[in-house]
A and B are shown apart, each in its own frame.
Chain A
Amino acid sequence: KAGVTQTPRYLIKTRGQQVTLSCSPISGHRSVSWYQQTPGQGLQFLFEYFSETQRNKGNFPGRFSGRQFSNSRSEMNVSTLELGDSALYLCASSLPPGLDDNEQFFGPGTRLTVL
């Protein structure tokens, strides 16, 4: 079974620009979560999508948004980029909510650098 894939793997943007990152979950997984990883703040939850609906959102400003498509692929968007948005963005897929739905499988991440 193919793992979680993320594109692109690396991105360089300048302040004020916007960026879109993509995540394809493991086949059969319908839940996708996004995390931001930085040296200072560690791994922080951004949001989770299931059945094309945002189920939960972490403590991030409205510049961070996402969506999920009918094939469970997900995108996240960051608008008006700031230097502090430089991070590794990880997505993780899991089974739909329910019993034994806990394990999250991570993708390789997208390394975003904001200049």
Chain B
Amino acid sequence: GENVEQHPSTLSVQEGDSAVIKCTYSDSASNYFPWYKQELGKRPQLIIDIRSNVGEKKDQRIAVTLNKTAKHFSLHITETQPEDSAVYFCAAWISGSARQLTFGSGTQLTVLP
């Protein structure tokens, strides 16, 4: 089955700096890669996603890049703010009869004021 590895497990940055979280996946059939933000005690919320036919996607301060050849994708947050502090999960999705979402282990991002 699919395996998703996520690094780093914890990340601390100064407010205003950029943060980068990286994930690799194992199954080349994966074709959709969402990123979720989970604040303490709350549900995961989709913040950005990318499909396998796209190399990069941006939404304001958040961007995701995908390298299908290397099977890795990354989340970039620019101009970080204290409210960006949360756990971020990457995931990989395989469509079809065996469809399921496989998550990375999560990154605890702390933005220091």
Contact = CB atoms under 8 A, between A and B. Distances in A.
Contacts of B101: 33, 35, 45, 92, 104
A56 B2 CA distance: 14
Contact of A103 (B1, B43, B46): B46
A43 interface: yes
Contacts of B51: 102
Given A102-B49, A102-B93, A103-B34, A109 B102 contact: no
Interface residues of B, number: 25
Contact of B43 (A42, A45, A107): A107
B78 interface: no
The secondary structure that dominates the B interface is strand
Q: Which 6 A-B pairs have the closest CB atoms?
A: A43-B103, A102-B32, A106-B43, A45-B100, A42-B105, A106-B44
Interface of A: 33, 35, 42-45, 48, 55-56, 58-59, 90, 92, 97, 101-109
23 contacts: A35-B101, A42-B106, A43-B103, A48-B99, A56-B97, A56-B99, A58-B100, A59-B1, A90-B43, A92-B101, A102-B93, A103-B34, A103-B46, A103-B49, A104-B34, A104-B46, A104-B101, A105-B46, A106-B36, A106-B44, A106-B45, A107-B43, A108-B42
